[in-house]
Amino acid sequence: MFLCVFADTASYCECRVENVSQGSEIIRRAEELLYEWIREQRPDLLDSAIKLHLCTATTWPNRALGCPQPGMFYAQVLTPGYRIVFKVGEEFFIFHSDYLGYMVLYQD
C-alpha cells in the first residue's frame, strides 16, 4: 500500500511505501505510483507503455535523496537507496528512493 500526496507543482510528489525490503518491490511500487501520477496529471500519456530505463543503487548524502525542497531540513546521514528511471513515450521520469521505499518523483 502506498500514499501519494501531490504538491503544488505538477512535477513533484512524495510516496512512502510501507514494508518494502527489496529493490524489485520498490521498482514495482514506483511504477504503480508513476501510473497513478500519469492518470491524474498527464492523461495524454496513458496510451504509452511505462518502460524501466535504468535502476541504480546509490547512497544519497542526506534524507533529501538528492531532491532538497526549499525551506525543508533533512537529516544529514548517508542514505542508501535507488535512482529509478522510467521512459514513457519520449519522456523520462526519475524516482529517488531510500531502501525502505520512501520516494520522490521528478519529471525531467
Domain range spanning residue 22? 2-107
**CA angle at 44 for the pair 38 and 48, rounded to the nearest 5°:** 75
User: Model confidence at 22, in pLDDT bands (50, 70, 90)?
Assistant: low
pLDDT above 90 (res 16): no
- What mean pLDDT comes out for the span 76-82? 94
For range 1-11, the mean pLDDT: 34
- Which has more confidence, 20 or 106? 106
List, as one string, the DSSP characters of 30-66: HHHHHHHHHHHH-GGGTTSPEEEEEEEEEEESSTTTT
Q: Is the pLDDT of residue 10 over 50?
A: no
pLDDT at position 17, please? 45
With beta carbons less than 8 A apart as the criterion, state whether 45 and 57 touch. Answer: no
Number of domains in the chain: 1
Q: What is the pTM of this model?
A: 0.75
The torsion angles phi and psi of 40, rounded to 5 degrees, stand at -85, -40
**At residue 71, does pLDDT exceed 50?**
yes
Evaluate if residue 108 carries a pLDDT over 70.
no
Mean pLDDT computed over 81-101 = 92
In this prediction, residue 7 carries a pLDDT of 35
